[in-house]
Amino acid sequence: MKIFIDADGCPVTDIAVRLAKKHSVPCTIICDTAHSIYRDRAETIIVDKGADSADFRLVNLITAGDIAITQDYGLAAMCLSKRAVVLNQDGKQYTEENISGLLSFRAVSAKIRRSGGRTKGLPKRTAEQDKAFETALSELLKA
């Protein structure tokens, strides 16, 4: 088992790296050149800046049973197809049962934005969200 973090804009990188170290699980941070993110005890892979370049690198590296951390529904779907476990930054697990609805929501939101509309952004991150993520990742690593 390995942990792969889609680190561009990921608010839980430090928590994930700390837990990976605690459980002696290899951890890889993947980001583009605009977000060079380095942490002790984690490998960092930097890819060229470009549409989905970090996502495609992560998908090429992940295998069944690995853990991906991302908030990107498209990347989550690709990781699920490789039988990986996928968590978002709030500790919610993406599954075969919920990913289709999430992808549909993403498509509708993109359509609204393309037509000039606005969609609501994410609210300010809370300590409760960090705790929920930490609990969910800890449980996966203990299993």
Q: What is the pLDDT, as a whole number, of residue 60?
A: 96
What domains can be seen in the chain, in order of their start residue?
Answer: 3-96+129-142 (3.40.50)
Q: What is the pLDDT, as a whole number, of residue 131?
A: 98
Percent of the chain residues topping a pLDDT of 90: 62
pLDDT tens-digit series, residues 80-132: 999 999 999 999 999 988 877 676 665 555 555 667 777 676 678 999 999 99
pLDDT tens-digit series, residues 54-75: 999 999 999 999 999 998 888 9
Q: Look-up: residue for tokens 């495609």?
A: 56
Q: For residue 111, what are the contacts with CB-CB under 8 A and spacing of at least 6?
A: none
Q: Dihedral through CA 114, CA 50, CA 42, CA 136, nearest 10?
A: 20
pLDDT at 38 over 60: yes
pTM for this entry: 0.84
H or E element that contains 85? strand 85-87
